[in-house]
Structure 1
Amino acid sequence: MTILVTGATGNVGRLVVRRLAARGARVRALTRTPGTARFPDGVEVLGGDLDDPASLAGALGGVSRMYLFPVARTARDVVELAACAGVERIVTLSSGAVTGGYDTDFHLPVERAVEGSGLRWTHVRPGEFMLNKLWLWGPSIRAESVVREPFPDAAWCPVHEADIADVAAAALLEDGHHGMAYDVNGPALITRRAQVDAIAAAVGRPVRLEVVTATQARKLYHAQGGFAAANADFLLGFEDYSGNAPAAGAVEVAAPVPVELPTATPVTGRPARTFAEWAHDHAADFT
């Protein structure tokens, strides 16, 4: 049995590859940058791009199961190629926004393409990634030991990328997951102020929290570039999930409300990883 992991150098995909390899699976990793990919011994690495479905033709031979990174534009063509090649099971990386009804353009079309294929399928729907805080706050923490945040008391249950990978690997390797859509969140509601404190504890030095306006944060994120610039308007409330501007400008982020959201535990049988654990795992990335 060969398992194809697309998006294999991504934040979740690379962990999926490692988990599958550690459990003795035959893994084929597909990436746009095979020359720089670093995977465990025995992992077959091939070049390919989901934006160009034809580039996957050589990678699909002999594959029975597939982890699918979401690219809505080509999803139907990619899934059709997989089915024709003999793939029997697809596990999609989706989003909790599908469950909430917010996502109709990005992950939902991928889910529908997979479900319409007639293959066995499982959707993994993570909520907010803990990793977002590395991309948003990492540069200022490394340079100044400061976080500039407009909504310090906003709270949610962000998820460790390792929990997402654990669920995906289980769905690829084990039976009993067909037709399931797993929402995967962190184990506890945590404010952004408390997240800053957790990062400070992990790196072993004070990190100052400076409260700014949403407009100021937007300017800073756009100047920062990368993930921060690409997602600033959505994360700060200047546009909705589909990129439409709210009628009254930036949306205030609500105060903490006690919630209990699904985690990886029902699939993995292990406690979901906390934000403090994530901060410890990524301490070197903030220094």
Structure 2
Amino acid sequence: MILVTGATGNVGRNVVRQLLDEGEKVRAITRHPDRAGLPDGVEVLPGDLTRPETLPAALHGVERAFLFPVFGSLGDFLRIGKEAGLQHVVLLSSGAVTFPAPSWIGDRHLECERAVEESGLSWTHVRPGMFMANDLDWAAQTADGDVVRAPYGNAAAAPIDERDIAAVAVRALLDRHSGEAHLLSGPESLTQIERVRILGEAIGRPLRFEELPREQAREHLLGLLPPQAVDFMLDMLASAVGRTAQVLPTVEQVTGRPPYTYAQWAAHHADDFRPRA
């Protein structure tokens, strides 16, 4: 039995689906099983990494687990899992842990990695860079018009499709890549302006990027994220202006196939960027 935490998230939902496609027995935990919308064939239980009393039932009979990084709340899961016979954990971490300068996001993920490593369990870390799914934040703007407003339009990244992150995690679960850390990127360096153009092509409308001043962007993001995370994200965008993002071969090396392009991701999510009926 394989347990998937964070099963309704962008990555976790794909991990569940891909494990089922591999013929695996899958259990998922979520705070609201009645609203999970997960595929047939998965066992869905109520569970929450911040509520240890929900974890013994979730971990009963589980050999491997995909672990979502709930900051400061992994200790009970790892302890209870080890007592229940859990053998291997694949942690969703972040490429930020490899940055030369400390950062709030990188430090939080490093704490998660250390907790897993010190648990005594076999482990794999999956360290993606920027998610293509982050651009779903633009959907509200494209639903109402043809302009996407964001800061640092010329900032480049090599964003990765959530399906590719899941595919690497699934291989790590099935092949038990013990003691390995997979640093991931997408297949191409693209600025935000270029990504908006590609999105427009996917939905059949000529979208236009409009530069948003940093302070306005910060004010908006503070409603969604802690201040330290907001400043980290904005600083990273600023540092990426005029640069080419690093493209890594890891997805193809681990999965045996090339990663999805941004155009393929945009086509897959085109309806998310169209006006809602």
TM-score, structure 1 normalization? 0.88
What percent of counterpart residues are identical? 48
The residue number in structure 2 matching 1:41 is 40
1:88 aligns to 2:87 (yes or no)? yes
Deviating above 6 A after TM superposition, structure 1's stretches of 4 or more consecutive aligned residues are 227-230
More moved, 85-94 vs 203-212? 203-212
The question of 1:150 aligning with 2:159 is answered no
Q: Which has the higher helix share?
A: 2
Cα deviations by residue, 1:30-61 (Å, 9 ceiling, x for unpaired): 11110111222221000011111221111111
SS at match of 1:24: coil
Gaps spanning 5+ residues in structure 2: where? Answer: none
CA distance in 1, matches of 2:225, 2:146: 20
- Show the 5 A alignment for 1:1-287: 2-101=1-100, 102=102, 103-135=105-137, 137-175=138-176, 177-221=177-221, 225-226=223-224, 232-237=230-235, 253-257=240-244, 259-287=246-274
In the alignment, structure 1 segments of 5+ residues that lack a partner are 241-249
AA aligned opposite 2:195: Q
Deviation at 1:219, TM superposition (A): 3.8
Determine if contact 1:183/1:262 at 8 Å carries over to the other structure. Answer: no
Helix, strand or coil for the counterpart of 1:40?
A: coil
Distance 1:15 1:146 in 2: 30
Q: Counterpart amino acid of 1:72? A: F
- Offset, 1:149: 2.5
SS at match of 2:167: helix
For 1:157 and 1:104, the matched residues in 2 are separated by 18
User: In angstroms, what is the RMSD of aligned CA positions?
Assistant: 2.2
| Separation (CA, whole Å) in 1 of partners of 2:39 and 2:87 | 25
Count of residue pairs brought into register by the alignment: 271
CA contact (8 A) 2:157 2:240 kept: no
Superimposed CA distance per residue, residues 250-272 of structure 1 (whole angstroms, 9 cap, x where no aligned partner): 95643123633343111001111
Answer whether contact 2:91 2:125 (CA < 8 A) is retained.
Answer: yes
TM-score (norm 2): 0.91
After superposition, the Cα gap between the structure-2 partners of 1:221 and 1:143, relative to the gap in structure 1 and judged at 3 Å, is farther
- Structure 2 CA distance for aligned equivalents of residues 123 and 96 of structure 1: 10
> Greater shift after overlay, 265-274 or 98-107?
98-107
